[in-house]
Structures are given as C-alpha cells and as structure tokens.
Amino acid sequence: MNAPVYTTEILRLAASLPPPADDFGPVDCAANRRSATCGSRLTVFVKLDQAGRIAALTQDVHACAFGQASAALVAKHAVGNDRAAIETALAALSGWLAGERHDPGAWPGLEALAPARSKTGRHGAILLPFRALAAALGSPL
C-alpha cells in the first residue's frame, strides 16, 4: 500500500501558516512568485534590520498543502537570517528534492516534506516560499 502524500504533519504545518498581516506597515523589500509547475502563487513582504537580516515578514500564499507547509516553515524560521542563509537553504532544498543530496539542509522542519520528494509536480510549490524570499532579498535565484 502506498504511504499518504499529505501526512498529518504536513497538514498540521499547512494549517499553522499565519495569515497575511493586515497592518504590516512599510516594507524594505517584497517579491511575488508563481510556480510554473503547479500554478501556486506567493507574495512575500519583508522588513530588514540594520544588518540586512530579516526582522519580520508576512506572506500571501495560494498553494497546495505542501506549499503552505513550506511557507509556514519559512515564516517560523526566517527572522534573523540574511540573503546568504536563504540562498543556502534554497540550494540545499532544491538539491534534496532533486535527489542530489540525502538531507534538506539545515533549515528546521523540512524533513516533514519528504513525502513530496517523489512527486516532482509538488517541488515548485515547496520551493516557492524560498524563491520568493530570495527574490525579495535581491537574489538572482
């Protein structure tokens, strides 16, 4: 019998995604990205501290449970990170999903998305929050 794609852990993560903040105020950077593979959409708004690290963020997410779960992990752990850390996380996650590495990298919680590794159509949604955040921070990725 096949294991379920949407595990309880993935659904819990997806449900934990904070709604977009209505009163977020002025932002330092933002980006809007869409996954070509599944049509998921995400807009991220970011405030930076004096050192260029993420001080706060809010996301408007229109994605499947995998995209929502990934966005929830970004929301939970992005504060305090800089552009280099986001680029590193994106590269590690991309490599893991592509089967080029055995772990998803150091970003907390990404192991929960393991059921999607064999579902290439879901990879775009999982990468979307990291791609949008990297774009907001000025990354060419």
Structure tokens, 32? 């809007």
**Can you name the CATH fold of 8-19+28-136?**
Sufe protein. Chain: A (3.90.1010)
Spell out the alpha helix ranges (H) of the chain: 8-15, 65-77, 83-97, 120-136
Please give the pLDDT value at position 141. Answer: 44
Please give the pLDDT value at position 139. Answer: 62
**pLDDT in tens for each of the 141 residues of the chain?**
566 778 999 999 999 999 999 999 999 999 999 999 889 999 999 999 999 999 999 999 999 999 999 999 999 999 999 999 999 999 999 999 999 999 999 999 999 999 999 999 999 999 999 999 999 999 654
Distance, first Cα to last Cα, the chain: 38
Please give the pLDDT value at position 4. Answer: 74
Q: Residue 126 and residue 137: Cα distance in Å, rounded? A: 18
Structure tokens, 36? 């070509």
